[in-house]
Chains A and B, each alone.
Chain A
């Protein structure tokens, strides 16, 4: 199974139409990857779909970087009893 990081990058690449290889953990979704507010909504939706979790919108949308997203999603998975590869 792919790791949380790989899966987050895959979803991000799909939604923002960039190559997964170009995405770095320190990248900001908005400033480095060019996510607009509408795409942020889509990203949250796709992360929930990918991991089978429910995220608090405010907390999820406060996440700034890819690394933060990996950490946040891993935490939500733990809280909601979803097994993931770290």
Chain B
């Protein structure tokens, strides 16, 4: 177990995994977009505009999923002081922030033709905007502390406090009377969505998830090299292939 948590071993393992994960991402994206744009029929209420869903829902899902990973890894780093957990938590923030931004903007682009407005201060939209600020706050806090170990502790606490926002986002459409439509997929067993639309949606969610792990591993390897620069194994790695 200790071996797998060593930065040296992880660096090599991540390097072998990324091409495979990247390839899988590409395949999933191609099939998902093909089914979503060419095969799935137009919606009887929303016409063609609903196709925004195939990027909006995965982006929104990722914004929450990445936050939970970031906070979870932060908690592990706090309790067990595991360096890799610190690094993983820190690389989540920029990717999570960009998916949150994507969810907000695509939501806006979907809201304008469907609701007649780019933005409304309703519970779902506002809590998602707060999530975006949590990511930005996390990155700002991290950038303001020079020592990576201290930065990891401070950001983990911030991330853990912000976790309360996640159930608020998820249940906002049920707790409050909002403009935002309720979930189409989460009702396990009886999804209120046709299989021809559900298939590309699930593929895109899967594609975005694998994509996240691909880019997270690349970022982690960069971070490991920098933090371990005093070790002999990094010197060896630098001498080898470019």
Q: Do A and B come from one complex?
A: no
Task: Tell me the B residues contacting A by CB distance below 8 Å.
Answer: none
Partner-B contacts on A (CB < 8 A): none
